[in-house]
Structures are given as structure tokens and as C-alpha cells.
Amino acid sequence: QVQLVESGGGLVQAGDSLTLSCAASGRTLSHYAMGWFRQAPGKEREFVAHISWSGANTYYADSVKGRFTISRDNAKNTVYLQMSSLKPEDTAAYYCASAREVYSSARYYSTNTYDYWGQGTQVTVSS
């Protein structure tokens, strides 16, 4: 059984930094691309960042580009999302997800690309 568990969320002030972690069990993450998504109340889940299985390729939503960094430590079976210069509009529940074994690399931003999801961790940024 595959489980993804996010951690590291919390309440911070605008301009602060925060690092989210996603630890996996039941799946060797080094074989899979991974993604981070977020969902604010009343809004659809949106793509944040994607990293290839090797870590060689990363993609970001325009809204977080230059502020967020996705990385992975395959030895620890963990993926990270470093967030800096946080803004109130970054407030959301953040979810990590593991991509399907076979997927279209052009659709890294689509929720359909991912088959396992964590339960989410809340990030709240106050102004």
C-alpha cells in the first residue's frame, strides 16, 4: 500500500520561508516523478511544482517560479518543497503526489498524471 505523508506546514508571516516534506512508503520514489499541488478553500486544486524521477528536470507554476524549489532525496524516499518570500495568496492545503509509472511528460501539471496523493498539509501566510 502506497502512502505519502506531507509535513512542515504551519502559520507564517508574509516574506517568511517554509519547507514541506513528503515521505513515502510502499513505493520507491526514485522510480517516479513527483509533484506538489495546492488547494485553497473554494478553489480547484492547482499545480505548484514537478520533479522528474532523477531530479534532472523541474517545472513550476508561474505564480511560484523563483520563490519555490522542489527537490528530492531518493535515498530517504522523500520529496521537498522549499518555499520562500511567501505571500498571503500562497495560503492553501499543499499536497504531494506520485506520478503514474507511464505518463505524458508534457502533462506534468495535470492531476490526472498522478495516481497517489498525500493527505495534505496546511500552509497559512498572514499579511
pLDDT of residue 125: 98
Place of cell 513505493: 27
pLDDT of residue 56: 93
**What are the helix (H) ranges across 14-59?**
none
pLDDT of residue 104: 84
Strands 18-25 and 58-60: unpaired
Q: What is the CA radius of gyration of the chain?
A: 13
Q: Are 33 and 53 in contact (CB under 8 A)?
A: yes
pLDDT of residue 101: 86
pLDDT of residue 47: 98
Query: What phi-psi label fits residue 83: left (phi over 0), alpha (psi between -120 and 50 degrees) or beta?
Result: beta
Q: Are 88 and 126 in contact (CB under 8 A)?
A: yes
Question: pLDDT 10s per residue in the chain (127 long)?
Answer: 899 999 999 999 999 999 999 999 888 888 899 999 999 999 999 999 999 999 999 999 999 999 999 999 999 999 999 999 999 999 999 999 999 988 888 899 999 999 999 999 999 999 9
pLDDT of residue 106: 86
